[in-house]
């Protein structure tokens, strides 16, 4: 199911075989028949029903109690962990204090100045408008907190990420160790590591910064490493032959040449950090996420959309700024003077205004949008009710329940074996063993049933998402007109924080699994569509010409030439679609999607469920790794640029 793109490969009819071989479809069909037969024979045996009292959970609870009791006496805490917490919250307080001290006109001025410095008047204008817009929406203070948290996480991520990136860039051995770790860091549903972080660092901005770093650091490391590797060997050799030491070569040759690419890494790191904003509000991080969560609890779509837009504005400003810096070409001395002068003028203007204007962003400048948005939502809710209800029931009764029944009533060894064989066939023996191992791990954590429930939602959501993304991508690749219309919509959908999607979904479909599916659909379709489109467009024109002159129809062209040739991109699209869906389905627990995501939420919120929540977090990571390995496929190596971050 997961590998839909693979199956579209044309059945190769062996041309006049010398020795008759079995047709290619025999093995898969035999496999499916075997699995079905075993399922029928062993249905209901070796199932692992959920037990809230599992021993693993008790162990983890005991571990929690130990940490709780020794937080102020064990040397690990006294000398390491507590200092980490202290240091990081110190950094946050410092940055937050500085941003607040600038005052709102000062901060807007500084942003405009930095924009000017990065890319001239255009970027300055974007920064000015973006930051002022945040104030106009009525979220100035929360946005400053969010900005401070994001900056602390980004600064720390770069502080550790760039040196690590340089190291991995230069040593293939380190690269081999670091790459899988980064893979896991990025595949892990962000939800799953909140509990362990809270256990060690308690709630508050410090743990929020750490949680953000886990997600934001990988792009910094990956892209820095890539940038260093790309510096041409000839240049390095030239520098070395001139007698430069290793350190000199690094500082004067490698780093400057890699700088623009590294700035892209900074860009990705910032985007990743901003995407964590709503989530870390669950562990008492101040900022826009708090408003989002509160709106979610009140099922108030308008009130959730506005802070979402504020996050988007911050994201756009920081993105354009860093992107412009990455693309900048150094002009002459004159240009430099103009740049710095502009920066100074804009910043100074802001600071002067700070001392003149009111301390808080003026309330009469706020725009009220909550009510009109809610009016629209209410209209849709009352008028589309039959349709949305039908859709919900159709998916729940038609797809989710039957699949869930099968997965939870099948013996665990049968599911694991089926995954082993399937992954082996699609992505090779290593992937097969890892995938099966992950699934066995879920069973060992005594979370089999909830794991299967989560898997059900993810599979259904992924199929819907990939099908829609494929259709959109194919259409966009065929028609420039369609692509041009689609692009801005996809851009917007991609920058909104994922949490914002829960709200419209809840408003339309009520609480439950289907809502989580719809939210992940909106979240993941843009990426899938884009990857499919890129893949199809990358098919060489000459190949297309050849096929066309051989008399292929458009349809044949698509199915027999374009799709098979874009196999790599399609696999990548499937992979990204599934990983993103998993992340979103887990968050869907906040609106009643249940299963592992719910266990994690409950683990944070109820102390007797702590162990279950922690185990569920690990199980989610295992599921993520499993799905990722299965879909990475033969040539679907993921590139760090394509990992969706915002």
Partner 1 sequence: MKKLRLIAGVLVLGLSMAACGGAKVEDDSAAAPSASAAGSAGASAAGTVKIAINGWVGYEASAAVVSHLLEKELGYKVEKVTLAEEPSWQGMESGDVDVIIENWGHPDLKKKYIEEKQVAVEAGSTGNKGVIGWYVPEWMAQKYPDITDYKNLNKYADLFKTSESDGKGQMLDGDPSFVTNDEALVKNLKLDFKVVYAGSEAALIKAAKQATEQKKPLLMYFYEPQWLFNQVKLVKVNLPAYTEGCDSDPKKVDCDYPPYDLDKIVSKKFADTGGKAYELIKAFQWTNDDQNAVADDITNNGMSAEDAAKKWVEANTAKWQAWMPK
Taking CB under 8 A as the criterion, which residues in 562-591 touch partner 1?
Answer: 589-591
Calpha distance 443→441 (Å, rounded): 5
Nearer Cβ to partner 1 (179/300)? 300
Per CB under 8 A, the list member of 608, 634, 635, 641 interacting with partner 1 is 608
Nearer Cβ to partner 1 (237/405)? 405
Nearer Cβ to partner 1 (2/95)? 95
Q: Which of residues 436-465 bind partner 1 (CB under 8 A)?
A: none
Query: Does position 83 bind partner 1 by CB under 8 A?
Result: yes
Which tokens go with 550? 């051989």
Q: Could you give the C-alpha distances from 355 to 103, 104, 130, in angstroms and in order?
A: 8, 10, 22
Locate the DSSP E strands across 204-318: none
Smallest gap from residue 141 Cβ to partner 1 (A): 9
In angstroms, the first-to-last Cα distance of the chain is: 27
Q: Which residue, among 89, 135, 146, has the nearest Cα to 273 in the 3D structure?
A: 146
Nearer Cβ to partner 1 (187/304)? 304
- Taken in order 63, 66, 70, 74, the sign of the CA dihedral is negative
Locate the DSSP E strands across 367-455: none
Q: Which residue, among 127, 128, 108, has the nearest Cα to 350 in the 3D structure?
A: 108
Q: Which residue, among 560, 564, 577, has the nearest Cα to 635 in the 3D structure?
A: 564
Per CB under 8 A, the list member of 510, 548, 552, 556 interacting with partner 1 is 510
Considering only CA atoms, give the Rg of the chain: 26
Smallest gap from residue 170 Cβ to partner 1 (A): 19
Helices (H), 137-193: 140-170, 172-187
Smallest gap from residue 554 Cβ to partner 1 (A): 41
Which tokens go with 418? 């089926």
In terms of phi and psi (left: phi > 0; alpha: psi -120 to 50; beta: otherwise), the region of 479 is beta
Contact pattern from residue 393 through residue 412 relative to partner 1, giving x for each residue in contact according to CB under 8 A and a dash for the rest: x--xx--xx-----------
Query: Does position 386 bind partner 1 by CB under 8 A?
Result: no
Which tokens go with 488? 């801005």
Query: Does position 185 bind partner 1 by CB under 8 A?
Result: no
Smallest gap from residue 97 Cβ to partner 1 (A): 6
Nearer Cβ to partner 1 (513/644)? 513
Query: Does position 253 bind partner 1 by CB under 8 A?
Result: no
3-state secondary structure of 300: coil
Calpha distance 623→496 (Å, rounded): 26
Per CB under 8 A, the list member of 7, 13, 241, 359 interacting with partner 1 is 359
Per CB under 8 A, the list member of 60, 91, 258, 466 interacting with partner 1 is 91
Per CB under 8 A, the list member of 179, 511, 552, 556 interacting with partner 1 is 511
Per CB under 8 A, the list member of 17, 21, 22, 79 interacting with partner 1 is 79
333 contact partners, CB below 8 Å, separation of at least 6: none
What would you measure as the largest C-alpha separation in the chain, in angstroms? 90
Query: Does position 216 bind partner 1 by CB under 8 A?
Result: no
Q: Which residue, among 631, 602, 629, 607, has the nearest Cα to 617 in the 3D structure?
A: 602
Per CB under 8 A, the list member of 82, 229, 261, 556 interacting with partner 1 is 82
Calpha distance 318→323 (Å, rounded): 8
Query: Does position 188 bind partner 1 by CB under 8 A?
Result: no
Nearer Cβ to partner 1 (155/184)? 155
**Residue for token pair 């950090």:** 273
Q: Which residue, among 129, 289, 119, 265, has the nearest Cα to 208 in the 3D structure?
A: 289
Calpha distance 211→527 (Å, rounded): 24
Nearer Cβ to partner 1 (208/436)? 208
Nearer Cβ to partner 1 (211/627)? 211
Judged by CB under 8 A, the number of residues near partner 1 is 72
3-state secondary structure of 304: helix
Query: Does position 85 bind partner 1 by CB under 8 A?
Result: yes
Per CB under 8 A, the list member of 607, 634, 635, 637 interacting with partner 1 is 607
Smallest gap from residue 210 Cβ to partner 1 (A): 14
Q: Which of residues 282-341 bind partner 1 (CB under 8 A)?
A: 282-284, 286, 290, 293-294, 296-300
Q: Which of residues 362-381 bind partner 1 (CB under 8 A)?
A: 371
Smallest gap from residue 632 Cβ to partner 1 (A): 33
């Amino acid at each position: 199911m997961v590998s839909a793109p693979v199956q579209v490969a044309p059945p190769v009819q062996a041309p006049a075989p010398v020795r008759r071989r079995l047709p290619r479809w025999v093995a898969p069909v035999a496999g499916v028949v075997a699995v079905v037969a075993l399922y029928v024979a062993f249905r209901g045996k070796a199932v692992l029903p959920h037990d809230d009292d599992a021993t693993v959970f008790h162990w983890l609870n005991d571990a929690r109690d130990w940490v709780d009791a020794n937080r102020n006496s064990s040397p690990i805490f006294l000398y390491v962990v507590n200092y980490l917490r202290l240091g990081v919250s110190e950094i946050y307080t410092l940055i937050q204090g500085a941003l607040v001290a600038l005052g709102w006109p000062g901060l807007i001025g500084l942003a405009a100045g930095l924009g000017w410095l990065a890319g001239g008047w255009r970027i300055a204008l974007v920064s000015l408008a973006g930051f002022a817009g945040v104030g106009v929406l009525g979220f100035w203070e929360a946005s400053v907190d969010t900005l401070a948290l994001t900056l602390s996480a980004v600064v720390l991520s770069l502080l550790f990420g760039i040196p690590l990136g340089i190291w991995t860039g230069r040593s293939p051995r380190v690269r081999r160790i670091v790459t899988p770790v980064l893979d896991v860091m990025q595949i892990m549903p962000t939800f799953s590591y909140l509990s362990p972080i809270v256990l060690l660092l308690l709630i508050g901005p410090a743990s929020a910064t750490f949680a953000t770093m886990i997600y934001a650091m990988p792009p910094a490391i990956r892209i820095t490493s890539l940038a260093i590797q790309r510096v041409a060997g000839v240049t390095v050799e030239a520098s070395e032959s001139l007698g430069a030491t290793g350190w000199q070569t690094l500082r004067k040759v490698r780093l400057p040449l890699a700088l623009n690419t590294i700035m892209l890494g900074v860009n990705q790191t910032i985007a990743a950090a901003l995407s964590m904003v709503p989530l870390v509000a669950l562990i008492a991080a101040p900022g826009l996420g708090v408003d989002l969560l509160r709106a979610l609890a009140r099922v108030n779509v308008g009130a959730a959309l506005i802070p979402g837009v504020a996050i988007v504005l911050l994201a756009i400003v920081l993105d354009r700024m860093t992107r412009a810096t990455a693309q900048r070409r150094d002009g002459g001395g004159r240009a430099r003077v103009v740049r710095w002068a502009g920066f100074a003028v804009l910043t100074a203007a802001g600071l002067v205004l700070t001392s003149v204007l009111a301390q808080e962003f003026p309330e009469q400048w706020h725009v009220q949008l909550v009510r009109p948005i809610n009016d629209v939502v209410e209209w849709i809710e009352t008028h589309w009710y039959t349709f949305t209800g039908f859709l919900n029931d159709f998916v729940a009764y038609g797809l989710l329940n039957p699949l869930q029944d099968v997965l939870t009533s099948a013996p665990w060894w049968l599911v694991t074996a089926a995954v082993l064989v399937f992954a082996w066939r699609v992505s090779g023996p290593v992937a097969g063993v890892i995938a099966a191992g992950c699934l066995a791990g879920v069973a060992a954590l005594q979370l089999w049933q909830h794991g299967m429930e989560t898997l059900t939602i993810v599979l259904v959501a992924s199929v819907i998402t990939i099908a829609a993304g494929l259709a959109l991508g194919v259409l966009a690749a065929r028609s420039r007109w369609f692509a041009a219309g689609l692009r801005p919509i996809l851009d917007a959908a991609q920058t909104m924080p994922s949490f914002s999607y829960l709200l419209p979904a809840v408003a339309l479909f009520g609480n439950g699994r289907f809502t989580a599916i719809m939210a992940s659909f909106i979240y993941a379709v843009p990426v899938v569509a884009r990857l499919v489109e890129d893949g199809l467009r990358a098919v060489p024109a000459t190949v297309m010409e050849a096929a066309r002159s051989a008399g292929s129809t458009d349809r044949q062209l698509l199915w027999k030439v374009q799709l098979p040739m874009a196999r790599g991109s399609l696999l990548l699209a499937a992979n990204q679609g599934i990983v993103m869906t998993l992340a979103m389905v887990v968050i869907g627990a906040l609106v009643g999607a249940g299963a592992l995501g719910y266990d994690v939420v409950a683990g944070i919120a109820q102390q007797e469920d702590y162990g279950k929540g922690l185990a569920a977090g690990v199980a989610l990571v295992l599921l993520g790794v499993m799905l990722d390995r299965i879909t990475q496929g033969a040539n679907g190596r993921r590139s760090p640029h394509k990992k969706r971050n915002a």
